[in-house]
Amino acid sequence: MKYKNWDLVTAAQRVAEGLPAYTLERVRTRLSLSKREFADIIQISERTLSRRAKEDTLPVDESDRVYRFSRLIELATDAFGSEEAARDWMKEENYALGNATPLSFARTEPGAELVEQLLGRLAQGIPV
């Protein structure tokens, strides 16, 4: 599933319906995070994260966060040419983000938008 290719109407509808619960583990694996780290980033408890594995769909708020991080890792992979380089970039402090990591900055929608703008500049070859 390529989240970066969804138009906003599609994204809004699918997030409102609730993304499949298995997407949590897919995103966690793609970001190469421990369960504790991932639970912190998507702002749920580890216990809730484990419970979601047994469910069909995610609640809207969790779907929104999973969509956000899925989209960003896809965009970062495009910008850096590999998922490994994208993961490394997402976890490194970034001067343009006030020395926060893109991963932590993207915990909010405005922060994710800024990370996406940075990735867009990088993909265009514009230094940040």
User: pLDDT (tens digit, 9 = 90+) per residue, 74-88?
Assistant: 999 999 999 999 999
Contact assessment for residue 60 and residue 19, using Cβ atoms and an 8 Å cutoff: no
> Is there a domain that residue 128 lies in?
no
The total number of structural domains in the chain stands at 1
> Is there a domain that residue 94 lies in?
yes
> Is there a domain that residue 127 lies in?
no
> Is there a domain that residue 65 lies in?
yes
> Is there a domain that residue 89 lies in?
yes
> Is there a domain that residue 18 lies in?
yes
Q: What is the pTM of this model?
A: 0.88
> Is there a domain that residue 7 lies in?
yes
Which parts of the chain fold into alpha helices (H)? Answer: 8-17, 22-31, 35-41, 46-52, 60-80, 83-91, 102-105, 109-123
Task: Say yes or no to pLDDT of 122 above 90.
Answer: no
**Residue 10 structural domain:** 3-122
